[in-house]
Chain A
C-alpha cells in the first residue's frame, strides 16, 4: 500500500490511497481530473480518496497545518445540523482502541459543530498515520500524519462484477476486465462520448467504455467474431449461441442503449467519411500470435469460410498485415478521426531484447501521453500507449511516416510472431508463456 498526496488544479490537495497491482499503470491514472467525485470513483487502482486538510510529520505539525487550512473550506462540512464521524487509519501498525480515541480527541481544536453518528454520518473524516513499510521496524511515532475528508472509494468492486469469466461472449483475446477499465480511464472516456474500437473482437473494451457512460461502436475484419458464429472459446461449449455477440455483452451489464453498431470491416481500408469523429479510440490490435493479422488485399491465398457457415462470402483473401503498418495506419486514422483533445489508447507488442523508447510510433498530430509496460514473458511484453490529438492534420501529415524514420521505428518489429515463437523454441519451451488477461 502506498500513500501519495497529489496537488490538483483547484488549489486543494487530495490524498489517494493506492492499491498494489498493475503498479506501472498508476502514475498516468493520477493525471485524471479528480475534482469531481463522479470521475474519481472510476479510478480503479485507488482504494480511497480524501480531501486533504492538513498533514505533518509530528502531531504539532499536523495541528499547525490544520489551523492554516482555510476555515471557509472546512465550514460546509462542520455545520451544526450535520452528522459526522472520524476514522483513524494506521498503516503498518495496529492501535489499541484507547489510542485511537485519544488521537481523535486531540483533534478537538477543529470547529466540529455537528453531532457524531457512527452508523450513517453525512461526513466522514479520517486521520491517517503512516508508520512506514517495514513490518519489523515499527516506529513509536508515525512518519507522516494526514487529516482529511473522505470523498470516495475506488471501484475495485467493478472488476469483480465485470469478470470476463461471467460474460456471455468471450474470445481467445478478450481483455482482462481490470485492464479494459484502465484503458477506458487512460482514454478519459466519459458519459456521452462516442468511442470506437477498430479491432473490436468480442467487444471487451467497448463493454468497459460503456460502463463509463460512453456510446460505443466497433469494427472487425472477422465476420465470425462479430456475428458470434464459429468455434467457441470457452471449454465444453460447442458453438457460440445466438446470444453471443457484442450487443448481448452490453445487455448483460445494462448498457445496451449505449450500443451504436459493430461492422465487419478491414481497418486498413477505412469506411468512415472524412469528417467522422470520435471522442476516443480504444483498441487492442492483433499481435499476430493468437489471432493472425490479416487484411484484404491482392494476395492469392484464399481463405475458405468454415463449413458450418452458410451465407454471403466474407474475408475472401488474406495477406499478412505487417505490424508496423497496423500502427502507422492506426495513428494516421486517429489523427483524422479523433476530436481535438481526444485520445487513442492501444497495446503495442514489444520484443524486449530489442526495445527502446524510440520504437513507439509517433505522429505529428498526436502527443504521446503515457507508455506502460505489461510483461508477457521474459522476451515479450506489451505496452499500453496513450496518445492525445493535439493538432488537426494537414495534407503533408498523412505522408509524414514515409518521410521521417522517427515515425516508423517500429519496422524492426515486423514478424513479431516469428520472434515470439523463435524465443520460445530457443529455451525449449521452459519460457513462461504469461498471456495477458483471462485467456483460456
Chain B
C-alpha cells in the first residue's frame, strides 16, 4: 500500500465518525525507485490532506524533511516535488495493518494489498 492511497482511505466501520486517517502499523516497508512525473505530483498535491500525509510518513519513519505545511509555488520546486513523489509512490507498506482511529478495528495489509472487507454486522 502506498501513501497516496492511504491518504484517500477512510474507515467505513458502521457508526464511526472520525475514521480518518487510518493508523498505519507496518511490519514490513519497502522503498522502490519509480519514474518521476512532475505533472502528476503537482496535480495530486492539492487533492491531498497534507497533514495526514505527514502523519503517515512519520508512522513509517519516512518523514525526512517534508514540511509540515505546504509551501507556496510548489509546482516549480522540483526538489520538493521529488520528495513528495517519493513519499506518495515509492514508499510502500508490504505487511502490516491499518487501524480505525475510532473503533480500533484493524484491516490487514498482506503482500502490499490492504484488505478492507468488513464482516457482517460491522
Contact = CB atoms under 8 A, between A and B. Distances in A.
B34 interface: yes
B71 interface: no
A264 interface: yes
B2 interface: yes
Nearest to B41: A192
B9 A317 contact: no
B114 A263 contact: yes
A308 to B, nearest CB: 16
Contact of B121 (A262, A298, A315): A298
Given A296-B119, A311-B110, A312-B108, 7 more contacts: A257-B34, A263-B113, A275-B49, A296-B117, A297-B120, A298-B121, A316-B119
A232 B111 CA distance: 20
A261 B1 contact: yes
Given A260-B89, A311-B110, A271 B115 contact: no
A296 B118 contact: yes
B119 A263 contact: no
Contacts of B9: 271-273, 276
B43 interface: yes
B115 A269 contact: no
A275 B47 contact: yes
Interface size on A, as a range, is 35 or more
Interface residues of B, number: 32
Contacts of B39: 191-192
Given A264-B115, A269-B12, A194 B44 contact: yes
A296 B120 contact: yes
A266 B1 CA distance: 17
Contacts of A46: none
Contact of A192 (B2, B43, B115): B43
Nearest to A302: B120
Nearest to A311: B110
Contacts of B35: 257
A226 to B, nearest CB: 6
Contact of A314 (B5, B34, B115): B115
B81 interface: no
A270 interface: yes
Contacts of A275: 47, 49
A266 to B, nearest CB: 6
Contact of A317 (B4, B89, B120): B120
Interface in B66-122: 89, 108, 110-121
A262 B113 contact: yes
A263 B98 CA distance: 12
A42 interface: no
